[in-house]
């Protein structure tokens, strides 16, 4: 048997000798699309029990079973970073979710702002994208995704223990960057395509736990800003160091 090349995310406990059942979709992918069969080795993870090398013990058109052989990586937690973002058009929102998983965040928090132009955000669809991204990038943890919440409500109940690093386009070209903050829990806030309204900007600037930061000398699109902000935070304050 060769080294495993496929990773699957399951909603089942994983452990030495543990037998797990594949969903119909996973069985179709593994046996119908990838043309694998009994004896194939696959990496399994569930977001809590680390990564395990498993072997296919049963292969069918609509079902399959695997047995965990050995743990290849223990479970580790992602950096305590939340990404708060206003949903944009579907493909771009999917892009934000996928790349946030690859770059490493602990929670995805969609927010409703005055200029949000896409109020529809389905957590179940986002969770599917999270799983797919985690399978492909080697992540062990699955970021929590929560329902869309109005920005005003979030700010009203926010505590000082987790500073909000607001990617403020008016700060472009200034020296106030993510690198200037200490390590610790944090949340990055990215606005909608139209930016924040004047009322929202006033509210954000009046909140002591909100810190405007620059993402470089140019104004970025919402999805680009999300990637840039996470990258800068990870480089200076996260687990890339």
Q: Report the chain (241 residues): mean pLDDT per 10 consecutive residues.
A: 81 96 95 95 97 96 95 94 94 95 97 86 94 96 96 94 92 71 92 92 95 89 95 91 71
CB atoms within 10 A of CB 236: 15
**Rounded distance between C-alpha atoms, residue 26 and residue 18, angstroms:** 18
Q: Domain residues of the chain, as ranges?
A: 7-73, 81-237
Q: What is the CATH number of domain 7-73?
A: 2.40.240.20
Q: State residue 3's pLDDT score.
A: 72
Beta bridge partners of 100: none
Q: Regarding the domain delimited by 81-237, which CATH topology (the fold level of the hierarchy) does it fall under?
A: Alpha/beta knot (3.40.1280)
Q: Which residues contact 202 (CB under 8 A, 6 or more apart)?
A: none
Q: State residue 80's pLDDT score.
A: 95
Token representation of residue 167: 């990617």
Q: State residue 194's pLDDT score.
A: 85
Reference 67, options 15, 131, 27; nearest CA is 15
| Length of the chain measured in residues | 241
**Rounded distance between C-alpha atoms, residue 70 and residue 67, angstroms:** 10
**Rounded distance between C-alpha atoms, residue 217 and residue 239, angstroms:** 25
Q: State residue 2's pLDDT score.
A: 47
Token representation of residue 67: 């047995």
Query: What pTM does this model have?
Result: 0.92
| DSSP per position, the chain | ------EEE-SS---TT-EEEEPHHHHIIIIIIS---TT-EEEEE-SSS-EEEEEEEEE-SS-EEEEEEEEEE---PPPSEEEEE---SHHHHHHHHHHHHHH--SEEEEEE-TT-S-----HHHHHHHHHHHHHHHT-----EE---EEHHHHHHT--TTS-EEEE-GGGTTSS-BGGGS-SS-EEEEE--TT---HHHHHHHHH-TTEEEEB-SSS---HHHHHHHHHHHHHHHHSTT-
**Rounded distance between C-alpha atoms, residue 139 and residue 145, angstroms:** 16
């Amino acid at each position: 048997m060769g080294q495993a090349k496929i990773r699957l995310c399951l909603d089942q406990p994983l452990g030495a000798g543990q037998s797990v059942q594949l969903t119909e979709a996973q069985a179709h992918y593994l046996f119908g699309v990838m043309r694998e069969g009994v004896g194939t080795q696959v990496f399994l993870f569930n977001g809590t029990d680390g990564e395990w090398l498993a072997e296919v013990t049963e292969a069918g058109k609509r079902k399959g079973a695997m047995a965990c052989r050995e743990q290849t990586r223990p479970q580790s937690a992602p950096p305590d970073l939340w990404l708060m973002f206003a949903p944009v058009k579907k493909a771009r929102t999917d892009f934000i979710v996928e790349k946030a998983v690859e770059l490493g965040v602990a929670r995805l928090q969609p927010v409703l702002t005055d200029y949000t132009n896409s109020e529809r955000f389905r957590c179940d669809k986002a969770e599917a994208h999270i799983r797919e991204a985690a399978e492909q990038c080697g992540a062990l943890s699955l970021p929590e995704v929560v329902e869309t919440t109005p920005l005003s409500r979030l700010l009203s109940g926010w505590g000082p223990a987790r500073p909000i690093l607001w990617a403020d386009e008016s700060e472009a070209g200034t020296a106030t960057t993510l690198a200037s903050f200490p390590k610790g829990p944090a949340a990055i806030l990215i606005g909608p395509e139209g930016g924040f309204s004047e009322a929202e900007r006033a509210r954000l600037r009046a909140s002591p736990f909100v810190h405007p930061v620059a993402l470089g000398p140019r104004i970025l699109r919402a999805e680009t800003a999300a990637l840039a902000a996470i990258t800068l935070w990870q480089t200076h304050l996260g687990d890339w160091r």
